[in-house]
Amino acid sequence: MELREETGGIADLVRYRISVAKQDIADGKLLLENKSLLSANNRIYYAVFHAINAVHGIDGNGYKRHKDAIAKFNAAYVANGIFPRKFGRIIHRAEDLRHSSDYDDFPNLDEDLSKDLLRAAEEIVLSIEDYLEKRLAKEVL
């Protein structure tokens, strides 16, 4: 999804949020390559969070509290089968890892876990991007 000239509409908001999620994925990859696990874990989580907010954006919603955004996504999209249940588990794991990396004095850093979550986050972002492009095509055209 390309970021287009901003016009302030829903499509622009959705595309912007997905572009941020994709940049978070790219940043997470670079940070992992440089063995900066604390920061990589943060970017992995935010890739998922920004993608979730892109989904909310297409419905005209936005949530400032992460807990609300995740709960609403799981209730409206995962529980209803729009996205697979494994996405709910991945989101929870990414959130836990970010909290530990950001707030624990001695986080349990596991490079393999971070790499696995990065791949899973990338799957979520790409799946959400595909879903949003289809919705935008139906609603805009």
Q: What is the pLDDT along the chain (141 residues), one digit of tens a residue?
A: 444 445 678 999 999 999 999 999 999 999 999 999 999 999 999 999 999 999 999 998 988 899 999 999 999 999 999 999 999 999 999 999 999 999 999 998 999 999 999 999 999 999 999 999 999 998 754
The CA-based diameter of the chain, rounded to the nearest angstrom, is 51
Q: Has residue 4 been placed in a domain?
A: no
Residue 47's SS3 state is helix
How many domains does the structure of the chain reveal? 1
Q: Has residue 105 been placed in a domain?
A: yes
- Look up residue 39 and give its two tokens: 């920061």
Provide the domain limits for residue 100: 10-140
Q: Has residue 1 been placed in a domain?
A: no
Would you say 108 and 60 are in contact if contact means Cβ atoms under 8 Å apart? no
Beta-carbon contacts of 90 under 8 Å, excluding residues fewer than 6 positions away, are: 48, 117, 120, 121, 124
- Look up residue 21 and give its two tokens: 């999620």
Helix axes 85-103, 37-58, angle to 10 degrees: 140
Q: Has residue 112 been placed in a domain?
A: yes
